[in-house]
Chain A
Amino acid sequence: MSESLLSIRGLNVQFSAYGRSQQVLHDVSLDVPAHSQVALVGESGSGKTVTMKAIMGLLRDPPARILSGEIRYEGRDLLKLPPRERKKLNGTEMSMVFQDPMSSLNPVFTIADQLGTILKYADRRLGRSRSGRERMARVLEVLAQVRMRDPERVAASYPVMLSGGMRQRVLIAMALLSEPKLLIADEPGTALDVTTQAQILKLLKDLVADRGLALLMITHNLGVVRETSDYVYVMNKGVVVEHAPAAELFSAPREDYTRSLIAAVPRLTGGMRFGSAGARV
C-alpha cells in the first residue's frame, strides 16, 4: 500500500442526533495512487460525501464520530496527526474543488481577496513568504491557467458579477493555488448546464494530466466517471460494494447496484455523455 498517495483502510463513521445514532460508513477502504484518476460513485446518502469530508478533516464531532480506521496520506495516518500538522496539508498537499459555484464563494469579498487570503495562509503554514504583489501575481497566474480570458477583471470582481461557469473555474483555481499533489473534486459542475459542465470537466482533466496530479472524483454520475477516471469505487449505503478499473466496470459490472447505476446514465447522441447533470433540485 505504500505506493498509494492516499489510502483508506476500514473506515467506520457514525452520526448521532436527538439521542439516536447511526453508522454511515462501514469498513470503507480505497486507494488513490499518485498521478491516477479515481472515482467514488454513489447516490446521495451513499456515504461518498462523508468519506470526502473525512479525508479533508472536515467532519465535525459532534455529530460525526470516526469509530475506527485509518486514512494514510504518503504513509502518514491523517487521523493520528496532531491538528496543527493535519491542517498544514489542506490546500497545499491535498486540495478540494467545491461543488456548487453559486454558494462556495463568499459573496461580499472580491475573487482576488478570497484567493489571496487562502494563498497567504497556505504560505504561512508552509513557512514561505510572499509579498502582496507576488501573491496577486500568483492569483492572476492561476486564473489564467483555468482559461480565464481576462484574469485582472475576474480578480477584481465580486462573485455576483460572474457567471456560473466562471465561478466554477474560480473554484478550480482556488484548489490549484498552492500546487497540491491530490485534488478531490466534489461533483464539479453539477449545478451548471450540461455544456458548461462538459467544459469544466475537460478543463479539470487537462489540468490534472498536465501537472501529473492525482484526482479523486466524487460523483453520482457514471457518465462523468467514464470521461475522467481510470479506476472506480462504487458505494451504496455506506459500503464500498464494488471497485474495478473503469473499462472493466463498464463492460462487466458484477453488482446489480452498479448495473442499475450504469443503466441510469442517459446516452446523448454525438459522443457527449454527461447526461442527468443539473438534475439537482
Chain B
Amino acid sequence: MSDVVNPKAAELPRLSNAYQNWYRFSRNPTAVIGAVIVVLAILAAIFAPYITPYPQHAGAVVNFRFRHLPPSGTFWFGTDDVGRDIFTRVIFGLRVSLTLALVVLGTAVPFGTIMGLIAGYFDGWTETIIMRLTDVALAIPPLVMALAVAAVLSPDLTHSMLAIAALWWTWHTRLVYSMTRQIRSQEFIEAAETLGASKFHILFREILPNCISAIAVKTSLDCGFVILVGASLSFLGLGIQPPTPDLGTMVAAGSAFLPEHWWESMMPGFAILVLALGFNLLGDGLRDLYDVQEVK
C-alpha cells in the first residue's frame, strides 16, 4: 500500500506554503492539543507494560482486599470489582481501541480510495455499480452490521472489525469519487491524456496526490469515530474476550456499580472520550490547514 498512499507527492506542491502552514498550525492550539493527545496515546499503548504501575493487572488478577477503591494516590483511577488498578487497565485498553482503528482504516481507506478513483474516472457500469454499492452501505449502521455479523459468527473483535471495515470504505469512496470528478475535468489531466499517459499513471500520479490532504483529514476524524463504534460494540458485550482490558467492556462492567462506584465506568468512558477527542481535534486542525471542504 505504501506506493499508493505517497505522502511525498502531496507535499511537493505545498512546499512553497510550508511557512504559512506551519504558522497556522502552531497558532491553532486545539490542533496542537489533538496531536499531543494522539501521540501520547499511541506511545502509552506501545509502552503500556513499562509505564503502568501494575502491569500484571491487565490480566486475570484477583485482589479482593482492594476491590471498589476510589481514586487515590496509589490507584489513580480507583480499582474495579476484583481489585485491579483501573488506570493500568485503561492504558492497556488503549491498545484494543487503537488496533481496531488501525486495522479498520488500514483496510478501508486504501480500498475505498482505489474504488473512488476508479468510479470517478471511469463512466458507465463501473461507476454505477460502485456508487450504488456505497448508497446501500449508507443505509446500514456500522454498529448494527457488526452486531448482525457477530450474531451469525461469534462475538469476536476480528469479526466486528471486518464488519465495520466492510461498510467504512464507502465513505472514502464517496469522498475520493467526488474529488476525482472535479479533478478529472481539469486541464492538466487532459494534457496528460493527450500525451498518452497510462490510466494507472493518471489515477495514481496525477489525481491521487490531489486527494491526499482530504483523505488525511477524513482518516484522522474517522479514527475517532471507529474507536467510538468499537467501544459501543464492546459495551454491548461484543468486544474482545476478558480478561484483556477493553475500554467499552470496562464501562459496561462498571455500570453495574453505579452510582456508588462511579469511577469504574466513568474513568474508562472518559478515556474513550479523550482518545476520540484527540483524533477529532487533529483532523479538524488538518482541515483548517489544508482548507478542505466539509465532506458531503
Chain A residues at the B interface, C-beta cutoff of 8 Å:
18-19
Residues of A with C-beta under 8 A to B23: 18-19
Give Cα distance in the complex from A19 to B20, angstroms.
10
- Nearest CB to that of A19 among chain B residues? B23
Count residues on chain B whose CB falls below 8 Å from chain A CBs: 3
B24 in contact (CB, < 8 A): yes
Residues of A within 8 A of B20 (CB): 18
A-B contact count (CB 8 A): 4
A175 to B20, CA, bound (A): 40
Chain B residues with CB under 8 Å of A19's CB are 23
Chain B interface secondary structure, helix, strand, loop or mixed?
helix
| Nearest Cβ on chain A to B290's Cβ, whole angstroms | 15
B window 202-246: CB within 8 A of A: none
Listed A/B pairs (4) with beta-carbon separation below 8 Å = A18-B20, A18-B23, A18-B24, A19-B23
A19–B26 Cα distance when bound, in Å, is 13
Q: How far is the CA of A63 from the CA of B177 in the complex (A)?
A: 36
The CA of A19 and the CA of B24, in the complex, are separated in Å by 10
Find the A residue at minimum CB distance from B19. Answer: A18
Enumerate chain B residues within 8 angstroms of A18, measured Cβ to Cβ.
20, 23-24
Q: CA–CA, A132 to B129, complex, Å?
A: 53
C-alpha gap A18/B24 in the complex (Å) = 8
CA–CA, A18 and B21, complex, Å: 10
A146 to B87, CA, bound (A): 75
Q: Which 3 A-B pairs have the closest CB atoms?
A: A18-B23, A18-B20, A19-B23
| Chain B 2-32 near chain A by CB (<8 Å), digits 1 or 0 | 0000000000000000001001100000000
Residue of A nearest to B20 (CB): A18
- Shortest beta-carbon distance, A21 to chain B, in Å? 14
In Å, the complex CA distance between A19 and B27 comes to 11
Task: Name the A residues within 8 Å of B24 (CB-CB).
Answer: 18
* Complex Cα gap A231–B20 (Å): 43
Determine the distance from Cα of A18 to Cα of B19 in the docked complex, in whole angstroms.
10
In the complex, how many angstroms separate the beta carbon of B73 from the nearest chain A beta carbon?
A: 45
In the bound assembly, the distance between CA atoms of A195 and B186 in angstroms comes to 29
CB distance from B19 to the nearest CB of A (A): 9
Q: Closest A residue to B23 by CB, please name it.
A: A18
A230 to B20, alpha carbons, bound, how many Å? 45
**How far is A18 from B23 in the complex, measured between Cα atoms in Å?**
8
**Bound complex: CA A235 to CA B23 (Å):** 33
Q: How far is the CA of A19 from the CA of B23 in the complex (A)?
A: 9
Alpha-carbon distance between A248 and B24 when the two chains are bound, in angstroms:
50
- For residue A229, give the distance in angstroms from its CB to the closest CB of chain B: 37
Whole-angstrom distance between the alpha carbons of A192 and B23 in the complex? Answer: 40
Min CB–CB distance B288 → chain A (angstroms): 13
